[in-house]
Amino acid sequence: MNQSIYFEPQIETMSRQDLEALQLERLQETVKRAAKAPYYKKRFEEMGISPDDIKSLADLSKLPFTTKQDMRENYPFGFLACDKKELVRLHSSSGTTGNPTVICHTKNDIATWANRVARCFYMVGLRDTDVIQNSSGYGMFTGGLGIQAGIEALGAMSIPAAAGNSRRQIKCITDYGTTAIHAIPSYALRLADVFDELGIDPAKDPQLTTFLIGAEPHTEETRRKIEERFGVKAYNCFGMTEMSGPGVAFECTEQYGMHLWEDCYIIEIVDPTTLQPVAEGEIGEMVLTTLDREGMPLLRYRTRDLTRIIPGQCPCGRTHRRIDRIKGRSDDMFIVKGVNIFPMQIEKILMQYPEVGTNYLITIKSENNNDELFIEVEKSNVAIADERALCKDITRKLKDELLLTPCVILREKDEIPNAEGKAVRVKDLRPKE
């Protein structure tokens, strides 16, 4: 076995039998620890269960699901499973509506998280000789500090560029010899546009080889655009505040699915309505249970993210199962004229056209009780021979995909506001009932 491609060969290539034995051992310990948290202590009593009831991985089904609303209602420390003096850091979600979700970390939590992120970086070929530019926000958001800790655990040099200020980002890339960048996909493409404005072709930079992209759902077409414009390999990654942050799952160099670290998490894919397991390979809502967290373990957390487990073993030799790219969130779906629509369906079509850019906005309006779907998309630098014909063709393809006819509007560059953080893709202007 070629161990040079593995950060932790023994763990990454562990047999399914040994991996499941480790999961059970850690699950039992996690449930014992969770029972100390006020929320789970109360829930266990209500359900008539105890940690001793967990004798196999199948017994996971005896445990309650946990939701974001549960965390908000028990804000800030209802899920805390240790004494506060053991904590070294607190992170939280944005909390734009109601209380944020809070996650507290012990010193060991930070160390295992950093190691997990380093494992991800190593998997895509990054080493201690790399210069990794972190274009994530630093603060209560987990992305910045999680990636930072992973870079340091890998032993690489970090450039904590933070989010935004694209011209400064580009100066860092060119002056400091950046070899890899972590950024959200929409911002990566925005950065490419700024390179164009400066008359610089980033694809000609021999040092920049890798993009690490995540934090927002994106299509394969978007990934390919990033790779083409920068002349790099772009690897999809998944993480969330409630699961510590980045490093939950990551692509390997095969670029076919993200390995979810099963020594740290148990994954379930369930029907979002019935909460029953779906068949392997079918799309459903991802539910995660932490296995190595001390401060705030979470049991059967409903992520709302839609994905599937990819059947079979990866050619890279890692035995940890792969999840497909996130298809969207169960709560991102909107309904127009009785049709269920996800923004990713629209992005997939738009990204097929070189004449349009990467920024778009979906607006739903209602006039005389009739819902209308408007899709604004910016033009690219590619010349358009016939704008009317282009709009007509995009509309036709969208109609085939969505089963309704949207109104497609081409916009000049910068007419649609660019977001430095996660892109705002949908505006629902229909009257609220």
Mean pLDDT (the chain, rounded): 93
Domains identified in the chain and CATH numbers = 1-330 (3.40.50.12780), 334-428 (3.30.300.30)
Tokens matching residue 246: 């980045």
Q: Which of 63-67, 93-97, 153-157 has the lowest mean pLDDT?
A: 93-97
* DSSP type of residue 202: G
pLDDT of 215: 81
Between 332 and 275, the higher pLDDT residue: 275
Sequence-distant (6+) residues with CB within 8 A of 425 are: 343, 347, 360, 361, 362
pLDDT single digits (tens) 199-231:
999 999 899 999 999 887 788 988 999 999 999
Q: Are 110 and 88 in contact (CB under 8 A)?
A: yes
The SS3 of residue 165 is coil
Q: How many CB atoms lie within 10 A of CB 390?
A: 17
**337: nearest Cα among 298, 299, 364, 302:** 364
Which among 31, 131, 140 has a CA at the least distance from the CA of 90? 140
How far apart CA 258 and CA 252 sit, in angstroms, is 7
Q: Examine the pLDDT at 335 and tell me if it is beyond 90.
A: no
Residue 419, pLDDT > 70, answer no
Q: Where are the beta strands (DSSP E) in 296-416?
A: 301-307, 309-310, 322-323, 328-329, 334-336, 339-341, 356-367, 370-379, 407-411
Closest to 1 (Cα-Cα) out of 301, 319, 396: 319
pTM attached to this predicted model: 0.85
pLDDT at 422: 67
pLDDT tens-digit series, residues 39-89: 999 999 999 999 999 999 999 999 999 999 999 999 999 999 999 999 999
Token pair for 261? 């670290």
Given this model, what pLDDT does residue 2 score? 47
pLDDT value, residue 36:
98
> pLDDT tens across 166-210, in order?
999 999 999 999 999 999 998 999 899 999 999 999 999 899 999
